[in-house]
Chains A and B, each alone.
Chain A
């Protein structure tokens, strides 16, 4: 335990915790996306999936949710601590500073993170707890999704949130490999390509649902 605390005490350790929890959230997102995409196969398919999650797989769902909540909390804790340390490391700023290599996504990680968290809370209230939004059916997920996304504002907020998520993931995926020490001249080009590919897949996969509803493919 003392060793783990010493490990976490350093920013290098905190970054490794962020990387590992980031990977967990990424895989969870992939699973969520595949689940969502079943909406294209019709109401029976996605409602059946929802039924399965809350019926046959209910125990697994509890475990997964618990693990994910812990991962999210650790990710946030480490991010806040590291950012505060970073801000403290340069008490007097520059009057002129040019950025050469860093990306917009990298510089805004600390802002896209909390914005995604705010969206996550809103999203859970809408689709998990059915407290906000037009769809309030306990059993008909398909209906809830279609009703909600037919409102352009709800779709718009969703699409903006997914684009922010893609930005966060793009720097996150690449950065995670670097933080876990996976850097090799032979594969470094591949790391950026994989990070870009994964972020685009996640963004396109999630955004396709509200777009399909708005265009009337799903009704």
Chain B
């Protein structure tokens, strides 16, 4: 099939970007979106032009490196799918596809479709950890965890930090990401020690980085390739509210 790709080209963080159209002939349904970009880049290199820069790593849908807006939807039209796992059979002959970088104040564009998502790492650094004792490994079942809680924690931990939730949010909010990181630890006994501190610190770091607020639109949940639900945002709100009421300054400082 034949497609037209309209790709955001931006030389550098400070350069002015624009959409450039690339007609693509001989597109196979079994190509992934990134493979199509690989082919485009080969032809650009042959012509002596700069290839399109895009983030990718595993190409198995599990690392969270890839991702951009595909015709207005983060990771494209297929649900629960990262950009690398999106195949061209999802599109029709003659389609025009617009590829733009994730847009957020906290995600400055580095080049073309590549954005700097280190803001997400900063949120995790602010409190997305637990205190663990050193020494020999604990007995496997020394801490009993209800199966339901373990499953829910695992659901939250499925977040790969791709940033699609922020890109899709009309407010550019990082609540789904932050809530997943707060929840997967907060649901387990090991995560209780820093539970209040975690909620307070991660939320305040998220705000400081310039992400927007949650208006409960649900756009994040709709594009999340890992199926993280709004339930975790409610959990974040709950943890933050409780922590704000009960956590003393000393307790937050000390832990």
Residue numbers of A with Cβ under 8 A of B are 3, 6-7, 9-16, 82, 85-86, 88-103, 106-107, 109, 171, 174-175, 178-185, 188
Contacts and interface: CB of A to CB of B under 8 A. Distances in A.
B234 interface: yes
B234 A181 contact: yes
19 contacts: A3-B244, A3-B249, A6-B244, A11-B214, A12-B214, A16-B241, A85-B213, A88-B105, A88-B210, A89-B211, A90-B104, A94-B72, A102-B170, A106-B216, A107-B217, A179-B216, A181-B235, A181-B241, A183-B234
Q: Which of A9, A94, A107 has the most CB of B within 10 A?
A: A94
Contacts of A13: 240, 244
Interface of B: 19, 69, 71-73, 98, 100, 103-106, 168, 170-173, 175, 203-204, 207, 210-219, 221-223, 230-231, 233-241, 244, 249
B217 A182 contact: no
A174 B230 CA distance: 12
Nearest to A174: B216
A181 to B, nearest CB: 3
Contacts of B223: 100
Contact of A12 (B221, B230, B240): B240
A178 B214 CA distance: 10
A82 B234 contact: no
Nearest to A99: B219
A109 B170 CA distance: 13
A178 B213 CA distance: 13
Interface of B is mostly: mixed
Given A93-B103, A94-B100, A101-B218, 7 more contacts: A7-B244, A11-B212, A94-B72, A101-B217, A103-B217, A183-B231, A183-B233
Contact of A106 (B168, B217, B241): B217
Contacts of B230: 178, 183
A95 B217 contact: no
